Amino acid sequence: MSRFRVGYDNEGYYLEDTYSRQHPLRVNFSHPEFLARLRGAGKKSELVARAVKAGAGVRVLDCTAGLARDSFVLASLGCEVTLVERSRVVSTLLLDGLKRARRVPELVAAANRIKLTNADSLSLMAQGDLECDVIYIDPMFPEKQGAAAVRGPMQHLQRFLGTDEDAMALLSVALQSGCGRVVLKRPPQSEWLSPVAPTHVFKNKNSRYEVFAR
């Protein structure tokens, strides 16, 4: 039997890690912790919003959708988001989570500003016909042990997908795309991926946002 199993029940799709006692992974934008983040999210208080310069009508291409929590925050602040996710399983969870969010009055406006594509962003960007104001890249961080380990749903995702090895290639294609703003999220103490210095850096104890603006 394989370690990971996709299932469906009355709460929607989930991904189960049969080697772990963790709850199955679901995309649930109505989770109380996430709702609390959304209610407190402001253009100044959320680092991702500051890095992206979030606002009404700002078109964001999120090349590494994952659980789309960053993008949902951006959409709640008025951004029009295109999510790109290459994993079929993660895309299924995401589509399901977005469908359920559209039935929740508090979430429907943000959910309606989000589109999802199941594809590899490298190929999509290489085709060159994506119009956006900001490209957002948040590759999977390498798994850490002990106190530095990520917890909860992101740990589950990390175990399922492993590390994203093409972060450098994504950044390089994004920087050559002509898009006016590229934002890369990285662990706070990690090495710099780009040979070009970012124009701004926003940092907290969990993440570093490198902004490359024209």
Ligand X SMILES: C[S@@+](CC[C@H](N)C(=O)[O-])C[C@H]1O[C@@H](n2cnc3c(N)ncnc32)[C@H](O)[C@@H]1O
Summarize as ranges the residues that interact with ligand X (CB under 6 A). Answer: 63-64, 66-70, 84-87, 90, 120-122, 138-140, 161, 164, 166, 170
Closest approach, Cβ 106 to ligand X, in A, equals: 19
Closest approach, Cβ 123 to ligand X, in A, equals: 8
What is the Cα–Cα distance from 46 to 132, expressed in whole angstroms?
21
Backbone phi, psi, residue 61, to 5°:
-105, 110
Closest approach, Cβ 55 to ligand X, in A, equals: 19
Contact residues for 4 (Cβ-Cβ < 8 A; gap 6+)? 15, 16, 17, 18, 89, 160
Nearer to ligand X, 183 or 198 (CB): 183
Nearer to ligand X, 164 or 198 (CB): 164
DSSP for 70-124 reads HHHHHHHTT-EEEEEE--HHHHHHHHHHHHHHTTSTTTHHHHTTEEEEES-HHHH
What is the Cα–Cα distance from 133 to 116, expressed in whole angstroms?
17
* Whether the Cβ atoms of residue 88 and residue 15 lie closer than 8 Å to each other: no
Nearer to ligand X, 15 or 67 (CB): 67
Closest approach, Cβ 151 to ligand X, in A, equals: 14
H or E stretch including 178?
none
For ligand X, the nearest residue by Cβ is 66
Nearer to ligand X, 86 or 208 (CB): 86
Nearer to ligand X, 66 or 198 (CB): 66
* Whether the Cβ atoms of residue 32 and residue 43 lie closer than 8 Å to each other: no
Closest approach, Cβ 158 to ligand X, in A, equals: 8
